[in-house]
Amino acid sequence: MADQREPTVIVDDAHVVYRVHQAGTAGTGSPLASFKRIVTGTKPATLREVHAIKGVSFVAYKGEAIGLIGTNGSGKSTLLRAIAGLLPVEKGAIYAAGQPSLLGVNAALMNDLPGERNVVLGCLAMGMSPAQVKSQVKEIIDFSGINERGDFSSLPMRTYSSGMAARLRFSIAAAKKHDVLLIDEALATGDAKFRKRSEQRVRDLRAEAGTVFLVSHSEQSIRDTCERCIWLESGLIRADGPTEEVLKQYESFVKK
Amino acid sequence: MTQTAVADSDTGLPLRELARRHGLTAAGKLPSLPAYSRQLWSYRYFIASYANAKVTSALGKTRLGMLWQVLTPLINAAVYYVIFGLVLSTARGVDNFVPYLCTGVFIFQFTQSVVQAGVQAISGNLGLIRALHFPRASLPLAITMVEVRNMFASMAVLMIIVLGFGEPLTFEWLLVVPIFLLQSVFNAGLAMAAARLGSKVADIKQLVPFIMRIWLYGSAVLYPVTKFSSNEHLQAHKWALYVVEANPLLVFIDLMRHALMEEVPLAASPMVLWLEAIGWALVVGLGGYVYFWRGEKGYGRG
């Protein structure tokens, strides 16, 4: 029965507005312009409000993998951040079971440290105990495959190629069992071999009863990992349903 | 499909009720202070290894590496000694000026570096904050730990300087430990407060050098502390003298000088200084922590 399903994420009419400080555009860069702005009390031209999510509601259940699609700037990443509790909602509410973890390709670790130390640091930051970390380090490095071309794990991360760094980050985040895992385009990086492995890991994580959200521009990886799909456009849900149906609608929209 | 169809109609419940029934918590809700403290405690290994990592990555690229931990305070002391000891000779009123000066410089440096690094604890680590969930207070605390570690080396250097300039080794030296602890608590609070301020108003970072310089000149680091009580303006306004002499850094520096040296002019009796030091550590330590905790959920916004 449908009501036997256990919800893990509930998004109830959520609005997200965020404020962007941007480096001065033309005419705002001089000290005089800054002074005038303060005296006249006008809002700085460098501060802009972006209404990124305009009332989104849905319920995600245990064991689901949900793909988020939409054109660039449609609010996919913002929605993930809001679910992760990193961006506050302006109106409405987002409820989640446990602490959702956001896994993005831009997750920064310490670039001057060797990969191995970064693995330890990342695991500790996810709340693992030192004993757990010890038993996991080798597995994580093996999974990331950065040692396939020699001993890279003892080299500083700044020497890694962007693909290698992304693989390591993904491997760290995927080492822990998350109630809700939010993945932002992470699978798009790495070579075909790694992509296959990471897709398998996403499936495993899902089998361990978590919920997975995946933001990606690759229709293939959404098709392969998600059976449900939400299509966001300009901060609103355009469609929500089985992946095949939603992708079909999306494709005809994009081709127009 | 429209939006209303999306809002789950399996049970016909409003979403908020559904969330409550399944025990889901609202994202971005502030944990209670005890819960937050427990969480922070369980992240102690992260804090320690993050502090470690910061030191390694900061000095890793230099040729002398960890030697800098000792060289930095030595050079620092040398610079002040040349200017204030040799060129200006401000030593009037203090018998043994070099150890007096070095103690002041080192103790002040401890707080100064914590504040300078603390302001950027959040704003400089947004990538980490947006990627992983850990109690954010870990970051300013780790920064404090880095400086505590650096301070171990500085204290060793300081003690050698003090001994080298003829001060005797006494039992009073044991007081260094509690003074150091109190100042560390004070610094941790300051780091957390600075971290939150720095994350909210980026402009603070530009002001910190000036604030620290005023603090330096006001803490009797470079001149005898008796200059305050012999100042006519301050004598005329007793309360102003109290304010100047209650300066927490002046208190910590005075206590440390008192512990390490025999004949030092003090701003007040040691008993008063101790009470002031404990008071400052408690107020700033706890206050900074609570202030930081209140902003916990906003740090990812940037």
**CA-based R_g, chain A, Å:** 21
**Type of residue numbered A91:** K
- Tell me the C-alpha distance between B195 and B259, whole Å: 32
Q: Do A95 and B43 touch (CB under 8 A)?
A: no
- Tell me the C-alpha distance between A170 and A172, whole Å: 5
Neighbouring residues of B302: CB distance < 8 A, sequence distance ≥ 6: B123, B126, B130, B199
- Tell me the C-alpha distance between A187 and A169, whole Å: 11
Among A13, A59, A62, A233, pick the best mutation site for testing chain B contact (most B Cβ within 10 A). Answer: A59
pLDDT for A196 equals 81
Q: Which of B6, B28, B298 sits opposite A57 (nearest CB)?
A: B6
Q: A93 — contact with chain B (CB < 8 Å)?
A: yes
pLDDT for B3 equals 39
pLDDT for B4 equals 39
Read off the pLDDT of each residue in B189-197 and give the average, rounded to a whole number: 95
Q: Are the CB atoms for A182 and A133 separated by under 8 Å?
A: no
Closest chain A residue by Cα to residue B14: A12
Residues of A in Cβ contact (< 8 Å) with B23: 97
Strand partners of residue A59: A10
Closest chain B residue by Cα to residue A242: B1
Tell me phi and psi for residue A165, to 5 degrees: -65, -40
Neighbouring residues of A144: CB distance < 8 A, sequence distance ≥ 6: A115, A164, A167, A168, A170, A171, A194
Closest chain B residue by Cα to residue A123: B46
DSSP B45-67: HHHHHHHHHHHHHHHTTSSSGGG
Task: Answer whether residue B46 shows pLDDT above 60.
Answer: yes
The residue ranges of every structural domain in chain A are: 113-173
Residue of higher predicted confidence among A220 and A107 = A220
Q: Do B28 and A88 touch (CB under 8 A)?
A: yes
Alpha carbon distances (Å) from B234 to B228, B230, B241, B245: 7, 8, 5, 11
Q: A117 — contact with chain B (CB < 8 Å)?
A: yes
Q: Which of A59, A94, A121 sits opposite B50 (nearest CB)?
A: A121
* Distance of residue B66 Cα from the nearest chain A Cα, in angstroms: 15
Helices (H) then strands (E): counts for chain A: 8, 9
Alpha carbon distances (Å) from A39 to A33, A35, B199, B207: 10, 6, 24, 21
> DSSP state, B29?
P
Closest chain A residue by Cα to residue B51: A121
Task: Give the length of chain A.
Answer: 256
Q: Do B27 and A6 touch (CB under 8 A)?
A: no
- Tell me the C-alpha distance between B239 and B191, whole Å: 29
For chain B, which residues lie within 8 Å of any Cβ of chain A, measuring from their own Cβ? 1, 3, 5-8, 10-11, 15-16, 18-19, 22-28, 42-43, 45-46, 49-50, 53-54, 56-57, 60-61, 125, 127-134, 202, 297-298, 300-301
Q: A20 — contact with chain B (CB < 8 Å)?
A: no
The residue ranges of every structural domain in chain B are: 30-296
Which of the four pLDDT bands, split at 50, 70 and 90, describes residue B100? confident
Residues of B in Cβ contact (< 8 Å) with A211: none
Q: Are the CB atoms for A103 and A169 separated by under 8 Å?
A: yes
* Distance of residue B191 Cα from the nearest chain A Cα, in angstroms: 20
pLDDT for B176 equals 94
Task: Dump pLDDT digits (tens) for B229-248.
Answer: 777 777 778 788 888 888 99
pLDDT for A221 equals 79
Residues of A in Cβ contact (< 8 Å) with B205: none
The first and second tokens of residue B10, run together, are 């399996």
Q: Do B1 and A99 touch (CB under 8 A)?
A: no
Read off the pLDDT of each residue in A56-73 and give the average, rounded to a whole number: 87
Rounded to the nearest integer, the mean pLDDT of chain A is: 80
pLDDT for B7 equals 43
Task: Answer whether residue A203 shows pLDDT above 70.
Answer: yes
Q: Are the CB atoms for B270 and B258 separated by under 8 Å?
A: yes
Alpha carbon distances (Å) from B181 to B177, B231, B256: 6, 32, 12
Tell me phi and psi for residue B33, to 5 degrees: -60, -45
Q: Which of A95, A120, A127 sits opposite B134 (nearest CB)?
A: A127
Read off the pLDDT of each residue in A218-229 and give the average, rounded to a whole number: 84
Q: Do A85 and B297 touch (CB under 8 A)?
A: yes
Read off the pLDDT of each residue in A112-140 and give the average, rounded to a whole number: 87
Rounded to the nearest integer, the mean pLDDT of chain B is: 85
Read off the pLDDT of each residue in A163-185 and give the average, rounded to a whole number: 80
Task: Dump pLDDT digits (tens) for A69-121.
Answer: 888 888 888 888 888 877 778 888 888 887 787 776 555 577 788 888 888 88
Residues of B in Cβ contact (< 8 Å) with A111: 57
* Distance of residue B155 Cα from the nearest chain A Cα, in angstroms: 28
pLDDT for A88 equals 77
